[in-house]
Amino acid sequence: MRECFKCEGLWLDVASFEKICADREQQSAVLGGASPAPIHPVSDTNKISYVPCPECSQLMNRINFARCSGVIVDVCKGHGTWFDRDELTRIVEFIRAGGLEAARDKERVQLEEARRQLELERRKPAGSLSSFAAFDDDHRLTGIASARGLLKILLE
């Protein structure tokens, strides 16, 4: 864990962040150590900037945590996550309010629907029109195989 005292940002490696997401005791530590109100106002510019990973110096991706939390964090998949001031606290509050479970349930429902659609597509007679009608059989099989692979990865 690294902290920037100037901007009050925080860098967590992948394992540390996963532990916080999974462990209520770790979450309590984050909430208990929440930053006090700033003495100087934090500038809230709408300028989006990509920051480099402190480990590999590559620009990190900006993602909405759990795709629905409203907390945009900077992530280097191999090394960790950068949290601007109070973002980690907001994520822990999101998790404790059940947001992570709700996001996972929603994703599970979407995957199940995709699985049903693939099964319906697979069962259609070869001559019938389908949503894949514009593609030849090779493209259809490749698309179905790719979707199955994605479902397998996401459901494991």
* Rounded Cα distance, 121 and 148, in Å: 12
Confidence of residue 53 (pLDDT cuts 50, 70, 90): very high
What is the average pLDDT value for the chain, to the nearest integer? Answer: 80
Are the C-beta atoms of residues 7 and 85 closer than 8 Å to each other?
A: yes
Amino acid residing at 144: I
Tens of pLDDT, residue by residue over 13-36, are 999 888 888 887 777 777 765 444
H-helix or E-strand containing 29? helix 24-32
Mean pLDDT of the 9-13 span: 91
H-helix or E-strand containing 10? strand 10-13
Confidence of residue 152 (pLDDT cuts 50, 70, 90): low
Are the C-beta atoms of residues 81 and 17 closer than 8 Å to each other?
A: yes
Confidence of residue 40 (pLDDT cuts 50, 70, 90): very low
Distances (CA, A) of 68 to 95, 100, 103, 144: 11, 9, 7, 27
